[in-house]
Each structure stands twice: as structure tokens, then as C-alpha cells.
């Protein structure tokens, strides 16, 4: 008896310890805090030519052999478009049901521009596309899940690319405004969270400096492309993206916000940087790297100016905002979306020699994952993605301080397993590394919140394994494993972990009650 009692108490204490000492508790976040999963149209929808959708730039890009690691594309992807349509027939694997099972209260997804306006500005609004997203939104709300909608997550109607070069042409500002207007009008009564663009910094850096993403523009030494100029085009494209965002925000604030009562922001890819060496030059390099990555887009949309750290290096290569632009930029966004995965070291290249001729467009910094051969954190299957949980707290504090604690959402955070296998093997499902990653990053987020950071939500990338851009289907980010042949979804350990975390306070309370009960018995 005595032995049993001791064992029981030890077991209960262990469970308690697991929950309390870990410093991670759903109860620490307000009940209004959004906890969700994140996806994007091109990565999950499939049905790339159905419902009168037109081709996007990513449809065209992936169809050219050699562009994607496994020569795959998003033609079918997770077939979300069809599986969702099967909801009405009681299809059990339906994706909204998966989220409902997780117990999330929000879902971040993106609208495919070419489903809504197949011909960009030219041509009519596609009613099939409007119906698809309306039903999706209705189904989410029915399950108590808030739609958190991104207007543009990389995919642009190819027509705009062909007609005038998409982001390289100021015309796109007006067209993006028109597209946003159509969406606010069609969905705004039900959608309370709008994000204009996803990771414009990645779109510009990979599309116009290194040339790895469409439209594959670049010049040497940054990359090897058929056309483009890495010293000029990125600043033009960024300028148009910033003003396209401002156009959409102005339309929302003037025509819809009062009536619809929602909020609007932008989501930025936000890596953290640590100085490689403990010297002032590398600390300055960290500031430059952050400015060239994050403030490049956030300073203009919040302060109406490019960051001084960039102006100092690039001077007149950076465009200027006209008085009309400034007027548009006065409409402030309501929140900043932060996509954070990893951190790197940076080394100064102004005062120190660097390999590879690091120049203006890369802020005169060299970034690396290692210091003296030791990685900044455990490497993952995604190249350049290391596990460095402290980066979450640090990037939030940087953004909080630079932008006066504007409300923030962690719009993406997640962990990839590299695998081409469709089999939901034990190894694939027993994703303890992902659980550790999420646990570490969420704990770090909690530390930032305790210091006063106004963070209002956290979204895991991703609900499902999906089309991971240049990596195709070789990198799996999902809480649910997907067999891309049968489209079967299987929950991973991380899905169960997230569900338990979301049930948090109740679980801990229940355990406390059990403990009390056991104490009274023995």
C-alpha cells in the first residue's frame, strides 16, 4: 500500500511538473487570443483550372521542368478545393473538421487572386470563386473558427505578369486595390482579420535579387537569370508592393472598416539575427540585416519612410514617396503579422573582408548558421532553418520597440520533416522534434508577452503537409500527415499535443483535482 501511494504521488507530481514547470500554459493567454493553423491557396487548394480560375504565376512557374525540386506542382496539392466541397456530403476527412478536432479558434488562409479575378483588372469577378470562399468562411464560422484572411500569398494572376510585369509596374497598385475591394465587399461582413500580403520581403528578395522565385529576375553576382537587375528592380517591386498594400488599406479604412468592424495588417517574414562576433561592427550588421529584411516594408507602411539604415547604404537607389503616396501611407495598419521560423548569425562586410562579394543589396552583411563550426541551433531538414527558440522572444521585442507595440500576430511558426514518403509511418507521425520545437517557441513567445508585448494570436504552419514552393512535396510541415496519392490525412503527435495544449487549463485543473483526491485517499 505504502509503495503504491508513493508511486501514485510521484506520478501525479510528474504530470504536474510537466505542465507547470515547462512554463507553457494556455491559461496565460487571454481567452480572446487566437490560436490557429495557417495555409495558403496555392499550397493546398489544387483544382488549378477549375471553377473558372485562371493561371497564376506559380502555376506557370512550376510547370516548367527543373524549377521545383521533385518536379511537382500545385495542380492538385492537398485537393482542399474538392475535399472542402465534399463537406456537404458528410465527408469525414474534410479539413475544417480537422481544425475543429484540434480545438483552434482561428484559421489563416489565403484567397487565390486568379480565382476571384481570373484576368486581373481586365474582365469580370468570377462568381464561382466568390462562392467557394464564402462557403469556406461560413463553414469555419459554424465551427467557431475565425477566418484570418490573406489577400495575396505569392500567387498573382499570370495575366498581370504578361500584360505589364506585375509588381514591377505601378499599375499593379490600382489592380491590387480593385481585387482587395472585391474581397472586402464579398467577405468583409464575416471576416474580421485581413492581411494584405504575405512575406513581401521574400517575394522581392527571391523574385528580384536572387531570382529563385517567379518572375526569376536577377543579375550577377546575386544570381544567374535571363533578365533583371538585382541592383534596381527589387526596390521598384518593393515600392509597388508597399503602395499596393497602402491602396488596399486606404480602401478598407475609408469604405469598409466602420461598417464591418474588422482590422487590417500585413505579414512579414521575420528571421532573427545574432552577431557572429562580439564586436560593435557585427552588432551594427545585425541592425542592418533586420532593416533590410523587415523594416524595408514595415517602416514605410508605419512611418511613411524607408528605414534610415537602408537609406544610408543605398541612398538614391531607394525610390522616394510622392506627396500622394505619403497621403495614402497615412492610413495606419492595425497589426503586424510575424512569420518566424529561425535565426542566423551575421557578420559585417563593411569593415571586415567577406567571401562572395557581399554588397549593397545584401546590406553588406554575410549571414551564416554556424559560429566556429557550431550551429546556432539544431539543424532541421529545411536548409538554413535551425531551432533557436530565443529568436521568437527577440524578434517580437525588436518589432515591439521599433513600432511602438502595435498589436502583433505570429502568423507563421512551424517545423519541417524532410520526406518524400506518403506512408504515415510511425517515424512520420511520432514527430517529437516538432513538438519540442513548438513547445520551445511558444514558451519563448510567452516570455515576450510577460514583458508587455501586445501579441494577439499564434498560428502554426501548417495544418497539413502541402506544396512547399521550391521544395515541392519533399518538406512536410503539417500537424496532419498527408498521403498525396490518396489524400488521406493522419494526425501526428504534434496535432494531439496542440489539442492538449489548447485544452490546457482544464487538463491541469483536472490533474490537480486528481491529485487532491489521491491525497485524501492515502
Ligand X SMILES: *[C@@H]1O[C@H](CO)[C@@H](O)[C@H](O)[C@H]1NC(C)=O
Which residues, 429 to 458, sit near ligand X by CB under 6 A?
A: 430, 432
Q: Judged by CB under 6 A, how many residues of this single chain contact ligand X? A: 6
Identify which of residues 88 and 322 has a Cβ nearer to ligand X in the complex: 88
Identify which of residues 349 and 438 has a Cβ nearer to ligand X in the complex: 438
**Smallest gap, in angstroms, from Cβ of residue 185 to ligand X?**
20
- Interatomic CA distance for residues 494 and 338, integer angstroms: 22
User: Which three cell numbers, joined as nine digits, stand for 99?
Assistant: 481544425
Which residues, 42 to 71, sit near ligand X by CB under 6 A?
A: 51-52
- Interatomic CA distance for residues 246 and 251, integer angstroms: 9
CB atoms within 10 A of CB 509: 11
Identify which of residues 54 and 56 has a Cβ nearer to ligand X in the complex: 54
> Which positions from 105 to 144 touch ligand X by CB under 6 A, shown as an x/- string?
-----------------------x----------------
CB of 95 closer than 8 Å to CB of 84: yes
Identify which of residues 128 and 141 has a Cβ nearer to ligand X in the complex: 128
- Interatomic CA distance for residues 280 and 370, integer angstroms: 19
> In sequence order, what E strands does 91-169 have?
106-110, 146-152
Identify which of residues 6 and 131 has a Cβ nearer to ligand X in the complex: 131
Burial 361-381 (b: 16+ CB within 10 A, else e): bbbbbbbebeeeeeebbeebe
What is the number of residues in the chain? 522
For the CA atoms of 242, 243, 247, 252, the dihedral, rounded to the nearest 10 degrees, stands at 20
Identify which of residues 421 and 430 has a Cβ nearer to ligand X in the complex: 430
**Smallest gap, in angstroms, from Cβ of residue 182 to ligand X?**
17
- Interatomic CA distance for residues 434 and 492, integer angstroms: 10
- Interatomic CA distance for residues 204 and 167, integer angstroms: 9
Identify which of residues 50 and 181 has a Cβ nearer to ligand X in the complex: 50
**Smallest gap, in angstroms, from Cβ of residue 433 to ligand X?**
8
**Smallest gap, in angstroms, from Cβ of residue 427 to ligand X?**
8
- Interatomic CA distance for residues 246 and 310, integer angstroms: 20
User: Following DSSP, what letter does each residue of 31-54 receive, concatenated?
Assistant: TT-EEEEE--HHHH---TT-TT--
**Smallest gap, in angstroms, from Cβ of residue 118 to ligand X?**
9
CB of 14 closer than 8 Å to CB of 511: no
**Smallest gap, in angstroms, from Cβ of residue 429 to ligand X?**
8
What are the two backbone dihedrals, phi and then psi, of residue 152, each rounded to the nearest 5 degrees? -140, 110
Task: Calculate the CA 344 to chain-centre distance.
Answer: 18
- Interatomic CA distance for residues 282 and 157, integer angstroms: 41
CB of 346 closer than 8 Å to CB of 289: yes
Report the catalytic residues: 199, 412
- Interatomic CA distance for residues 117 and 176, integer angstroms: 10
**Smallest gap, in angstroms, from Cβ of residue 14 to ligand X?**
16
> Which positions from 395 to 434 touch ligand X by CB under 6 A, shown as an x/- string?
-------------------------------x---x-x--
Which residue ranges make up the site for ligand X (CB under 6 A)?
51-52, 128, 426, 430, 432
Amino acid at each position: 500500500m505504502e509503495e503504491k501511494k508513493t508511486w501514485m504521488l510521484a506520478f501525479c507530481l510528474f504530470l504536474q511538473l510537466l505542465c507547470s514547470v515547462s512554463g507553457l500554459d494556455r491559461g496565460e493567454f487571454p481567452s480572446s487570443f487566437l490560436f490557429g493553423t495557417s495555409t495558403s491557396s496555392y499550397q493546398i487548394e489544387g483544382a488549378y483550372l477549375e471553377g473558372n480560375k485562371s493561371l497564376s504565376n506559380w502555376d506557370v512557374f512550376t510547370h516548367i521542368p527543373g524549377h521545383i525540386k521533385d518536379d511537382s506542382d500545385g495542380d492538385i496539392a492537398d485537393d482542399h478545393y474538392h475535399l472542402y466541397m465534399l463537406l456537404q456530403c458528410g465527408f469525414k476527412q474534410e479539413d475544417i473538421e480537422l481544425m475543429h478536432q484540434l480545438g483552434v479558434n482561428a484559421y489563416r488562409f489565403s484567397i487565390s487572386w486568379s480565382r476571384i479575378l481570373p484576368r486581373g483588372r481586365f474582365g469580370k469577378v468570377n462568381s464561382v470563386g466568390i462562392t467557394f470562399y464564402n462557403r469556406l468562411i461560413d463553414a469555419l464560422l459554424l465551427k467557431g473558427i475565425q477566418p484570418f484572411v490573406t489577400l495575396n500569398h505569392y500567387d498573382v494572376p499570370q495575366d498581370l505578369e504578361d500584360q505589364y510585369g506585375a509588381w514591377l509596374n505601378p499599375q499593379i497598385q490600382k489592380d491590387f486595390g480593385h481585387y482587395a475591394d472585391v474581397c472586402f465587399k464579398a467577405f468583409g461582413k464575416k471576416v474580421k482579420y485581413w492581411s494584405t500580403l504575405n512575406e513581401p520581403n521574400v517575394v522581392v528578395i527571391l523574385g528580384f535579387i536572387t531570382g529563385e522565385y517567379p518572375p526569376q529576375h536577377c543579375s550577377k553576382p546575386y544570381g544567374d537569370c535571363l533578365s533583371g537587375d538585382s541592383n534596381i528592380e527589387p526596390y521598384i517591386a518593393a515600392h509597388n508592393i508597399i503602395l499596393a498594400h497602402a491602396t488596399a488599406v486606404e480602401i478598407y479604412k475609408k469604405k469598409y472598416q466602420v461598417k464591418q468592424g474588422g482590422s487590417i495588417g500585413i505579414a512579414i517574414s521575420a528571421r532573427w539575427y545574432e552577431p557572429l562576433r562580439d564586436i560593435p561592427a557585427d552588432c551594427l550588421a545585425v541592425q542592418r540585416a533586420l532593416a533590410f529584411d523587415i523594416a524595408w516594408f514595415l517602416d514605410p507602411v508605419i512611418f511613411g519612410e524607408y528605414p534610415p539604415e537602408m537609406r544610408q547604404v543605398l541612398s538614391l537607389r531607394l525610390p522616394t514617396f510622392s506627396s500622394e503616396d505619403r497621403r495614402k501611407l497615412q492610413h495606419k495598419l492595425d497589426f503586424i503579422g510575424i512569420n518566424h521560423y529561425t535565426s542566423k548569425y551575421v557578420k559585417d562586410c563593411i569593415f571586415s573582408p567577406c567571401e562572395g562579394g557581399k554588397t549593397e543589396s545584401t546590406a553588406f552583411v554575410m549571414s551564416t548558421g554556424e559560429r566556429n563550426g557550431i550551429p546556432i541551433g539544431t539543424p532541421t531538414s529545411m536548409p538554413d532553418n535551425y531551432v533557436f527558440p530565443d529568436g521568437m522572444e527577440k524578434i517580437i521585442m525588436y518589432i515591439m520597440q521599433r513600432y511602438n507595440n502595435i498589436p502583433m500576430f505570429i502568423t507563421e511558426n512551424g517545423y519541417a520533416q524532410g520526406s518524400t514518403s506518403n506512408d504515415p509511418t510511425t517515424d512520420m507521425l511520432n514527430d517529437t522534434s516538432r513538438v519540442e520545437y513548438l513547445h520551445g517557441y511558444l514558451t519563448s513567445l510567452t516570455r515576450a508577452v510577460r514583458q508587455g508585448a501586445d501579441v494577439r494570436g499564434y498560428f502554426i504552419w501548417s495544418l497539413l503537409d502541402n506544396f512547399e514552393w521550391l521544395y515541392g512535396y519533399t518538406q512536410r510541415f503539417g500537424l496532419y500527415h498527408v498521403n498525396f496519392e490518396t489524400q488521406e490525412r493522419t494526425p501526428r503527435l504534434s496535432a494531439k499535443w496542440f489539442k492538449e495544449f489548447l485544452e490546457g487549463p482544464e487538463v491541469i485543473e483536472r490533474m490537480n483535482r486528481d491529485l487532491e483526491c489521491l491525497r485524501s485517499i492515502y
